[in-house]
Amino acid sequence: MTDATDGTDGTEENPAQGSLDDSFHVFDTTLRDGAQREGINLTVADKLTIARHLDDFGVGFIEGGWPGANPRDTEFFARARQEIDFKHASLVAFGSTRRPGAIAADDPQVKALVAAGAPVVTLVAKSHDRHVELALRTTLDENLAMIADTVAYLREQGRRVFVDCEHFFDGYRANPAYAKSVVRAAAEAGADVVILCDTNGGMLPAQVQAVVQTVLADTGARLGIHAQDDTGCAVANTLAAVDAGATHVQCTANGYGERVGNANLFPVVAALEIKYGKSVLPEGSLREMTRVSHAIAEVVNLTPSTHQPYVGVSAFAHKAGLHASAIKVDPDLYQHIDPERVGNTMRMLVSDMAGRASVELKGKELGIDLSGDRELVGRVVERVKERELSGYSYEAADASFELLLREEAEGRPRRYFRTETWRAIVENRPDGSHANEATVKLWAKGERIVATAEGNGPVNALDRALRVGLERFYPELAKLDLVDYKVRILEGKHGTSSTTRVLISTSDGVGEWSTVGVADNVIAASWQALEDAYTYGLLRAGVEPAE
């Protein structure tokens, strides 16, 4: 009935894959509605990365975009089907009901939805009478026909269909009978879930609860909730709908979304799992929540909110003093949950990002047993603290962390080469083109190396000069590729004098690793990250250090 017609795997009966049952839906729309946030502009590669994070985290549905509406979203669906092996999530294509007066089977926009190949389609439908008349410019009856026709057609094409009733709550206030007739039309045509959307975000929890309760009683349809945060109540509105019987919640990672934003996925699932005792994620997922939240913020290039519930760096931070001794007696007196349940940590002082336990766990993950050596773990924690204070971030730079850990464990750094100096020159030519040239002076295996290269930017020129200089000594470097490069300016209120953090991802065709550099300028920070990137690549390749 609801088979996956994604072209790669048509055998599955139930698109709610993996370990999740279908009785409650955690539906993520970061890639579609979340991308509406001011300042977010996602590439296809960004979208694929975020989809992987969300699937790992264990949401049931990932709404990927509007195929056909823009080429980027079309490409995303094509590549997601090929490149991602979803463990938990079903991919969802978003689109609109057919045009007035047409038939669904002939509507190009509807056909693009089918062509996207996602097993699930969310259709947006108007449910506010004024919107039907003013924005759609059609009759109330034709709007119902558009919904019924489009849902039925997509069901015939083997898709599972959800219907988003746009502006539902405002529409319900204006014309409750019509709003409910939209819900009935969608459900009767075969939509599995009808989602009541507070599109303008003006609702408060008590109102949401009352409306959901009534609509559920009057229509009998399976209901979902989509809340925007314009009153600062999106999380509470989502929970109020669940209290009233909704069994499908639409959220976005970190609450990204248009205007103020959408209901934030993380506090919603945390409340459901911890406060309601409802199992809505795969076993163990909640402990990954803080990491996933920060990783997605990195991809969209927004600083993770320090004060976000559950996952913010400050969410379990206590200003020492009055409470300090009592917290020692019993931390549960001063925090509403154990922060480890959501992968966060209690902090008594400023920096303490990496506790002993997480360093030990990380060591274990890297195959280095640290549990016997308290003094070593202490040294690593101290160095991480000190470096994070000056702007480093090891959360997204596993390889740099491993190099640091090995340096402490082995008593000296892994070194394949030593930098004497480097120089980068960027010049704007009178014709508007740029010349980028870099020179590096290095030592490797006892020899001094001077190499110069050009590139399409100063970092690219430095990267090439480094390879030109070293490949004779380390032919393994030829296999390495820089696959991602990110820059973050820290302490944004100092203009161009701020500290710069660079993250570089490198691949050897088998795996990928990330390294970090921090300096007062972007070139110097990039150089540090490049040094770590190649050092780690050689370590991975099993090359013996020989400075």
Residues 275-294 that bind its own copies (CB under 8 A): 275
360 closest CA partner among 374, 340, 347, 341: 374
Nearer to its own copies, 158 or 309 (CB): 309
> Which SS3 state, helix, strand or coil, does residue 262 take?
strand
458 binds its own copies (CB under 8 A): yes
**How far is it, in rounded angstroms, from Cα 480 to Cα 485?**
14
User: Nearest approach, Cβ of 233 to its own copies (angstroms)?
Assistant: 5
CA 498/CA 495 separation, integer angstroms = 6
CB of 74 to its own copies, least distance (A): 15
Nearer to its own copies, 162 or 527 (CB): 527
Q: Is 456 in the site for its own copies (CB under 8 A)?
A: yes
Q: One symbol per residue from 354 to 383: x for binding its own copies (CB under 8 A), - otherwise; what is it?
A: ------------------------------
From 429, 446, 478, 511, residue interacting with its own copies (rule: CB under 8 A): 429
Residue 341 CB, shortest distance to its own copies, in Å, is 12
Residue 150 found at the interface with its own copies (CB under 8 A): no
Residue 171 lies near its own copies (rule: CB under 8 A): no
- The candidate with the shortest Cα–Cα distance to 106, out of 144, 146, 59, is 146
Stretch that binds its own copies, among 56-64, 212-220, 285-293, 514-522 (CB under 8 A): 514-522
Distance separating alpha carbons of residues 73 and 65, to the nearest angstrom = 5
Closest approach of Cβ 461 to its own copies, in Å?
9
Binding footprint of its own copies, residue count (CB under 8 A):
122
Residues 79-108, mask of contacts with its own copies (x by CB under 8 A): ------------------------------
Q: How far is the CB of 46 from its own copies (least distance, A)?
A: 7
Binding marks (x or -) toward its own copies, 259..278, rule CB under 8 A?
xxx--x--x--xx---x---
Within 13 Å of residue 265, how many CA atoms lie on the same side as its CB?
31
Which tokens sit at 123?
A: 């259709």
- Binding pattern for the stretch 325-344 against its own copies, x by CB under 8 A and - elsewhere: -x--xx--xxxxx-------
Q: Rounded to the nearest whole angstrom, what is the least distance from the CB of residue 369 to its own copies in the complex?
A: 24
Nearest CB to its own copies, comparing residues 17 and 209: 209
For residue 352, the 8-state DSSP code is: -
Using CB under 8 A as the binding rule, whether residue 490 contacts its own copies is answered as yes
Q: Among 245-253, 370-378, 407-415, 478-486, which window interacts with its own copies (CB under 8 A)?
A: 478-486
In terms of Cα–Cα distance, which of 363, 445, 369 is closest to 405?
363
- By CB under 8 A, is residue 415 in contact with its own copies? no
As measured in angstroms, the least distance from the Cβ of 316 to its own copies is: 6
Residues 26-45 that bind its own copies (CB under 8 A): 36-39, 41, 43, 45
- State both tokens at 55: 């699937």
Minimum distance from residue 347 beta carbon to its own copies (Å): 9
Choice from 125, 295, 317, 359 touching its own copies (CB under 8 A): 317
Residue with the two structure tokens 């506790």: 355
Determine which residue in the list 375, 411, 421, 542 makes contact with its own copies, applying CB under 8 A: 421
Q: With contact defined as beta carbons under 8 Å apart, do 506 and 530 qualify? A: no
Distance CA 25, CA 546 (A): 55
Q: How far is the CB of 17 from its own copies (least distance, A)?
A: 26
Contact between 167 and its own copies per CB under 8 A: yes
CA–CA gap between residue 118 and residue 173 (Å, rounded): 34
Specify whether the CB–CB gap between 237 and 204 falls below 8 A: yes
- Position among 376, 426, 468, 541 found at the interface with its own copies (CB under 8 A): 426
Name the token pair of 305: 């909110």
Both tokens of 314, joined, read: 């400050």
Shortest approach of its own copies to residue 200 CB, angstroms? 4
Beta strands in 74-182 (DSSP E): 90-96, 120-126, 160-166
Four-CA torsion 25, 28, 32, 38, nearest 10 degrees? 140
Residues 6+ apart with CB under 8 A from 417: 442, 443, 444, 449, 470, 473, 547
The minimum distance between CB 128 and its own copies, in angstroms, equals 8
- 182/131 Cα distance (integer angstroms): 13
Question: How open is the CA angle 284-244-152, to the nearest 5 degrees?
Answer: 85
Site for its own copies in 389-408 (CB under 8 A): 393, 395-396
439 has which bridge partners?
423, 452
Q: CB-based burial of residue 72 (10 Å sphere; 0-12 exposed, 13-18 middle, 19+ buried)? A: middle
The least CB distance from residue 456 to its own copies, in Å, is 5
Distance CA(106)–CA(379), nearest Å, equals 67
Give the CA count within 13 Å in the CB-facing half-sphere of 198: 32
Closer of 219 and 460 to its own copies (Cβ): 460
Cβ-proximal residues to 416 (8 Å cutoff; 6+ apart), any chain: 444, 470, 473, 474, 534, 535, 538, 543, 545, 546, 547
- Which of residues 108 and 220 has its CB atom nearest to its own copies in the complex? 108
Our finding on whether 213 is near its own copies (CB under 8 A) is: no
Interface with its own copies in residues 115-134 (CB under 8 A): 128, 130-131, 134
Shortest Å distance, C-beta 14 to its own copies: 31
Rg of the chain over all Cα atoms, to the nearest angstrom = 27
183-202: which residues touch its own copies (CB under 8 A)? 199-202
Interface with its own copies includes 19 (CB under 8 A)?
no
